[in-house]
């Protein structure tokens, strides 16, 4: 196995390893002794799930999250100098996409260290696939502003790009705010605009649904309480997509 | 297995199934008798690679590519009515991202048919992971205009979004034009802008390199002939990313 920084995806939610990760990933993981992880506990749990007999005590973990001093992360790549590979594991899905791992990858690239991404579940790409929307041009925006006025302004900007640039727009929301986000979408976007809600991707209750704003409005009464909205829009990890 | 439209990723290039596809995908594939494919020959070859003993003659294939009459593809989903699942297989990577599969998925969504994406290699998400660039906000643009003047104008627009929106920009090019594209990038973009070239992702000679425009310029002499550029920029499937 070549000495490199390996980017190691994990499962999304309570899914088996075999469902979402190639068996090759296990081989790579078992060849690595140094891991940069977003959360120690969940990284250890993941490694145990990959291989029950793994000797966690023989491994070295570096924690990298919002509490980590960014000036101190260079040294996480020191094992490379001795010929040892380093793995990066995030909290969910693919590392270095929407988590602090990207900072370490940037340092590795600057130093000319080889970086190898492994295959795993990405709610971004899987929702584009299943939405039926344009996959030749799409933009992921992470979280939108929390402030309602700013959020609406941003949504209008994204919707105008759907029409002017023929571009699919993706964004995420904190699970307990999914229903509120959908209500904002339905009161903000044009009736013919399509909205895809992709919830709990790869999990047993996965649900990926594309409907026009008009159709969603028929399903969810405009004056529905937050409690009622929960029936239609579950409070689970989800990604929203809009397109014409 | 639930009756649904399954989106079935394939390998990128000459890679083993085990390296890039979860074993679960094989189970799903072996439960499907109806496939919508971009190219008959390569789809059959892929299915044989998944399971050598597969009885190709017992399967039904519908071809969907630029020659297919779009008014006629509704019927590709007819097996669903009889309780049979339908699989969509593209030429490379994830279906319905940058290929005609999205049209069928849109029809399935309109009809309320369940759509299930499977995990597989996506050069888009894997290059974002390995670039070290911003993965909280990124946009994929497919191919840029071929006309040099229009291409340069588009590149300047994308570069301005890197700085004004803190957004990573991704695009692809036909392999034999990779060198020309890189020369255009180096003569168009700001010196401090970073360019990542991710070539042959998941293949034995995978190479994902991030450098500033200044650094790339030092590697590739500005007056290099097309022949010389090939030494640095291989004519293989690749994806370009730019960020600050």
Contact A130 B107 (CB under 8 A): no
Shortest CA distance to B7 belongs to which of A91, A111, A184, A202? A202
The whole model's pTM is what? 0.94
Contact B105 A140 (CB under 8 A): no
B131 and chain A in contact, CB less than 8 A: yes
Q: Which residue in the block uniquely carries the two structure tokens 């490199």?
A: A4
Closest Cα in chain A, distance from residue B8 (Å): 10
| List of chain B residues whose C-beta atoms are within 8 Å of the C-beta of residue A7 | 129-130
B198-B201-B202 Cα angle (round to 5): 155
| List of chain B residues whose C-beta atoms are within 8 Å of the C-beta of residue A127 | 117
- 3 state DSSP class of B157: helix
Report the 10 Å Cβ neighbour count for A223: 7
Interface of B with A in 9-48 (CB under 8 A): 16, 18-24
Confidence (pLDDT) at A108: 96
Classify strands A168-172 and B86-89 as parallel, antiparallel or unpaired: unpaired
| Least confident range of A62-71, A86-95, B155-164 | A62-71
Spacing of C-alpha B150 from chain mean position? 23
ipTM of this complex > 0.90? yes
Sorted by sequence, the CB contacts under 8 Å of residue B187 that are 6+ apart come out as B222
If you count residue pairs, one on A and one on B, with CB atoms under 8 Å apart, how many are there?
A: 165
Q: How many residues does chain B have?
A: 244
- Domain regions of chain A by residue span: 5-117, 123-243
Report the 10 Å Cβ neighbour count for A139: 24
B88 within 8 A of B36, measured Cβ to Cβ: yes
Please give the Cα distance from B130 to B127 (Å, whole number): 5
Confidence (pLDDT) at B150: 97
Tens digit of each residue's pLDDT, chain B (244 residues)? 899 999 999 999 889 999 999 999 999 999 999 999 999 999 999 999 999 999 999 999 999 887 887 788 889 999 999 999 999 998 888 898 877 789 999 999 999 999 999 999 999 999 999 999 999 999 999 999 999 999 999 999 999 999 999 999 999 999 999 999 999 999 999 999 999 999 999 999 999 999 999 999 998 877 888 778 888 888 999 999 999 9
Contact B119 A124 (CB under 8 A): no
A200 within 8 A of A121, measured Cβ to Cβ: no
Contact A120 B121 (CB under 8 A): no
pLDDT tens, residue by residue, A9-59: 999 988 999 999 999 999 999 999 999 999 999 999 999 999 999 999 999
Please give the Cα distance from A197 to A182 (Å, whole number): 9
User: Domain B123-243 is of which CATH architecture?
Assistant: 2-Layer Sandwich (3.30)
Closest Cα in chain B, distance from residue A168 (Å): 9
- Under CATH, what is the fold of the domain A5-117? Cobalt-precorrin-4 Transmethylase; domain 1 (3.40.1010)
Contact A129 B117 (CB under 8 A): yes
N- to C-terminal Cα distance for chain A? 46
């Amino acid at each position: 196995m070549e000495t490199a920084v390996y980017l190691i995806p994990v499962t999304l939610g309570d899914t088996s390893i075999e469902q979402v990760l190639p068996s090759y990933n296990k081989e790579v993981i078992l060849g690595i002794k140094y891991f940069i992880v977003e959360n120690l506990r969940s990284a250890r749990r993941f490694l145990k799930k990959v291989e029950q007999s793994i000797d966690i005590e023989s491994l070295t973990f570096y924690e990298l999250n919002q509490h980590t001093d960014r000036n101190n992360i260079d040294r996480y790549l020191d094992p490379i100098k001795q010929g040892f590979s380093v793995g990066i594991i995030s909290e969910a899905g693919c590392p270095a996409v929407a988590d602090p791992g990207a900072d370490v990858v940037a340092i590795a690239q600057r130093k000319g260290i080889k970086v190898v991404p492994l295959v795993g579940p990405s709610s971004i790409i899987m929702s584009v696939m299943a939405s039926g929307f344009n996959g030749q041009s799409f933009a992921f925006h992470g979280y939108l502003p929390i402030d309602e006025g700013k959020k609406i302004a941003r949504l209008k900007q994204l919707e105008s790009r759907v029409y002017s640039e023929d571009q699919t727009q993706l964004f995420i929301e904190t699970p307990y705010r999914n229903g509120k986000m959908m209500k904002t979408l339905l009161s903000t976007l044009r009736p013919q605009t399509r909205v895809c809600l992709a919830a709990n991707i790869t999990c047993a209750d996965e649900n990926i649904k594309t409907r026009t704003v008009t159709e969603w409005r028929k399903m969810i009464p405009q004056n529905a309480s937050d409690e009622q909205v929960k029936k239609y829009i579950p409070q689970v990890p989800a990604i929203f997509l809009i397109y014409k």
